[in-house]
Amino acid sequence: MSTQPQLLSEHACFGGRQLFYQHDSHEIGLPMKFSVFLPPQAVRGPVPALLYLAGLTCNEETFMIKAGAQRLAAELGLALIAPDTSPRGANVPGEADSWDFGTGAGFYLDATQAPWSSHYRMESYLTAELLPLLSSALPIDAGRIGIFGHSMGGHGALTLALRHPGLFKSVSAFAPICAPSQCPWGQKAFAGYLGADESGWLAHDATALMTGLRDAPYPGGILIDQGLADQFLAEQLHPHLFEAACASAGQPLTLRRHAGYDHSYYFIATFMAEHIGHHARLLEA
């Protein structure tokens, strides 16, 4: 079993509490850090929560520092959870050789290939360990969890939502990697973590997962925002492919394309309020 989380720091924030933790993870086999914002309503009992998955090179602090999400979350009574993006200190050969694979680039899946499979188990860590741990240790309602993320984390949000529809009640993403089997970032990560057999990649590809569905898994809708000045849009992100897959599956999708916006947290912060509102509506329904 994972150990109870150790509180590293606490900060008053919009009437609530911004918390940073570390714990010994059973799934990862290493210490893992995560952050939680508890709104002021949490003093009265469990509140719904949003799990945010950050992108390449980020960690458990990035979202809480840069996204500007706490103010509205405090108003609406939502907790925010931000895990790290990969194991740290696994000492796997090559894990620090590039910024888009290995450390800071766990891609929110369970690796099947040695030597990555020993520690790079982010899907099981999040779904089977971290969320149950938090609902037992903190005033978080396990029955009302939404998921969202950015870039690699947008990929994680979409794929985990589609792979675990009973766990997540709402989903959204900022500039997600929508078809990782068809872009360099995803192909590099999948080949390393999952092996050369590309048929195994499709279980972690949001477009492929959606294409195989006959019923909409999220009838309340999926929200995606994408900047048209995003330097990674053409080569890496492919939102049009996920858009087509949603149409074929009858999955309601709001895909908003914004002129002038890039891939940064300035873009994320601009549209954060709409994402928080999207989740709040569905988690209260």
What are the helix and strand counts (H, E) for the chain? Answer: 9, 9
User: Which tokens sit at 127?
Assistant: 């779904």
Contact 133, 147 (CB under 8 A): no
Q: State the amino acid at position 152 in one-letter form.
A: M
Tokens of 192: 């390393």
| Catalytic site residue from 238, 263, 278, 279 | 263
Answer yes or no: 151 catalytic.
yes
Strand partners, 35: 20, 82
By the 8 A CB rule, do 172 and 279 touch?
yes
Catalytic annotation present for 230: yes
What does the chain come to in residues?
A: 285
Token code pair at residue 251: 């999955």
- DSSP class of residue 151 equals T
Q: Choose the catalytic residue: 25, 35, 151, 181.
A: 151
Fill in the amino acid letter for 257: R
Coil/strand/helix, residue 87: coil
Q: Contact at 8 Å (CB) between 78 and 276?
A: yes
Catalytic option among 172, 230, 238, 275: 230
263 given a catalytic annotation: yes
Q: Reduced to 3 states, what is the DSSP secondary structure of residue 233?
A: helix
Sheet holding 47-53, edge to edge: 6-13, 16-24, 31-38, 79-83, 47-53, 140-150, 170-174, 222-227, 253-258
Helix (H) or strand (E) holding 32: strand 31-38
Token representation of residue 157: 């949000």
Show which residues are catalytic: 151, 230, 263
